[in-house]
Structure 1
């Protein structure tokens, strides 16, 4: 707990120094030490750091194995309690939950460490084994065979963390992706997962902080990027408030505070929080990179293209996560400036777009979808006389669900709508080329989202319908059609027409595949369907009552 306090107060080196002397004999010291190194490796994205963290996590797992019941194995926790005639000691139960955490984190590191499909499958097996251990532990703790020990709250928190994380994550994964990950037969209950994490977040322990961090990630990131924004800001603020009071200068909690202001549309306050988070510590610059990314989007929302470019440039120089994406964003922001305006550092958007394809990378043998999207969009700049992208910064903003951030900011929505109206006029006046229909439909999709934000429902519907009806004319940007259907379904849902909304979502899910950023769209469709079907079930239950 002292090491955790140091970590949350930005004293990262001191935290590791506090843990290091006992990593050979204490499960918790070993696990937390390895967790900090894993977090660092994931943020730096340097292979040496990831490999080093993987080795440390493996050593922690081996230490936990020494404390497990010798006959213990995957799926045996509950059977030991029922059939062996012996009760698991509290130490053995802690060994199980720490072992499961090590497995889960090793799986995450495996996915990042090696590009081969063999490693991907190995990582999947670790996740499966981990899932079974958590499931058995949860059942055992509910049974009459279990007796509470003096460290019961920490044990209970560890199981709540695992069960909650799996239920929440699995509930967000569409069946198609579950099958790809070989999670067949696994199911997740979002509400149960959230309740388990809230239960684990109670009090102040190692696991309570991890549960809070997972909940904050869900409410402020996952529900927006991979869902329909169904997270609860009120819950997130309630969770964060006591921790901010306890750790007022914590870079981690300042980051989440900034994200919450951003979601509420308080962009200037968000900028203040992110900048403050960068100032409070200089030891792990990777925390700065997380804030730079969000600052880039804050200035995008404000249409401050040179400031957005500045943060994309910082990321391209300092961060190893996605050079292709950072350079694409730099080029995108420059292309939003008037042609006659001087470019920072004398850079050319055309030359930057041409660099993108050479910067893409592979994770688990595949290029990240965002990089593939950037490479494909930048490809048109390879020509001697390229056909320019109309509003690439706004198109990528849509991919990250940025338009949801300005729902309550009519001034920001109006400013972006004006840019899209100008782009629409320019495309109508320009000579027809291979990209004309695609570009026009992309602008219509974004324009429709702005009109939806302004509650101009009929005008928004006309924009989305135009995209859908242009399906056969679209040559390259096939992602536009399922996303237009998704947006149309939101309008139907707002009008209370659930059946039509579900029908549009089913069409978007079943009729289109192999388009750009498909997984992200499928996640959003799944979230929208789950929400609609859930509300429908609630209504039926209320009516029956």
Structure 2
């Protein structure tokens, strides 16, 4: 399957090397005022939370239809469409659903790359350092999550050794990207507490999912990955997912589903542990209480 993802790491490494703000003309946010951009982002996050509520109410087809209709509205509408498509592909293992997910992911990554700032070949200063804007941070996070979904999709497509290695390499790139985003997880760089909480929940979900996946890969794959100099920490991954699940961020329900899936099913399949049913029950009680309040 054609790999539609390009290396995102160079752009993050270089985010602090461009002092010329006037050159950042390829981003949609530059055609708007900061206030307009912030309002658009806030509105998109609110709408996507409402769509996630449809998923929690088991109205998956309705949620998929809404995101398909609005995937051009914003990065988060597009990402949510990719996520729901992936859920459907994961449940059906149907080749058409997998292909639809790949197309949705391609659209999401293309949208996120529109926020990449233009950088001249010659740096005008060796000392000045620019800081990623709020829109850029969210776009980087969306790209990283799309990359994570693509890595998971690799394992669904084919269970062979080559697919495991290919998926592991994508996860490695994804891990490096999430690690850099974690270093930029500064509340002062966001226009509101809510915007940061959405970002924070996504960074924690990504780091948590990465560590949990790597820690539970087959031992033969882990041996290959050790040559690359990294490994997964299961306890750290579970802790990050729990913090994300208990937050008010957009990714909180997804982190909760990952936790529940691991404690009640995946842990038994992998054979590494019996899962933590007390933690699973705590998450369920939290969301039952939360959704009874909403309804």
Identify the match of residue 229 of structure 1 among 268, 273, 278: 273
Per the alignment, residue 68 of structure 2 pairs with 20
Q: Report the Cα offset of residue 163 of structure 1.
A: 0.8
Per the alignment, residue 132 of structure 1 pairs with 176
Pairwise CA RMSD:
2.8
Tell me how far apart the structure 2 counterparts of residues 130 and 58 of structure 1 sit (CA, whole Å): 16
Greater gyration radius: 1
Residues 273-312 of structure 1 correspond to what in structure 2 (within 5 A)? Answer: none
Q: Report the Cα offset of residue 96 of structure 1.
A: 0.8
Q: Report the Cα offset of residue 5 of structure 1.
A: 1.0
Tell me how far apart the structure 1 counterparts of residues 128 and 170 of structure 2 sit (CA, whole Å): 26
| Residue aligned with 1:206, SS | coil
Residues 432-511 of structure 1 correspond to what in structure 2 (within 5 A)? Answer: none
TM-score (norm 2): 0.71
Structure 1 pair 180/47, CA: closer, same or farther in 2 (3 Å)?
farther
Tell me how far apart the structure 1 counterparts of residues 128 and 70 of structure 2 sit (CA, whole Å): 32
Per the alignment, residue 23 of structure 2 pairs with none
Contact 1:128/1:183 (8 A) holds in 2:
no
Per the alignment, residue 34 of structure 1 pairs with 82
Give CA-to-partner distance per residue, 1:71-103, whole Å, 9 cap, x none: 5xxxxxxxxxx9761111111011111101101
Give CA-to-partner distance per residue, 1:207-257, whole Å, 9 cap, x none: 111111111122212222223534221111111113234558xxxxxxxxx
Tell me how far apart the structure 1 counterparts of residues 85 and 227 of structure 2 sit (CA, whole Å): 28
Give CA-to-partner distance per residue, 1:89-121, whole Å, 9 cap, x none: 111011111101101111222343368876665
Contact 2:148/2:174 (8 A) holds in 1:
yes
Structure 2 gap ranges (5+): 1-48, 120-125
Q: Report the Cα offset of residue 65 of structure 1.
A: 1.5
Contact 1:107/1:127 (8 A) holds in 2:
yes
Residues 377-392 of structure 1 correspond to what in structure 2 (within 5 A)? Answer: none
Structure 1 gap ranges (5+): 72-81, 249-545
Per the alignment, residue 108 of structure 2 pairs with 60
Tell me how far apart the structure 2 counterparts of residues 205 and 225 of structure 1 sit (CA, whole Å): 29
Structure 1 pair 147/118, CA: closer, same or farther in 2 (3 Å)?
same
TM-score (norm 1): 0.40
Give aligned pairs, total: 236
Identify the match of residue 202 of structure 1 among 229, 232, 246: 246
Tell me how far apart the structure 2 counterparts of residues 11 and 174 of structure 1 sit (CA, whole Å): 35
Residues 15-414 of structure 1 correspond to what in structure 2 (within 5 A)? Answer: 15-70=63-118, 85-113=129-157, 121-141=165-185, 147-150=189-192, 151-173=195-217, 176-180=220-224, 184-247=228-291
Name the structure, 1 or 2, with higher relative contact order (CA <8 Å, separation 6+).
2
Q: Report the Cα offset of residue 36 of structure 1.
A: 0.7
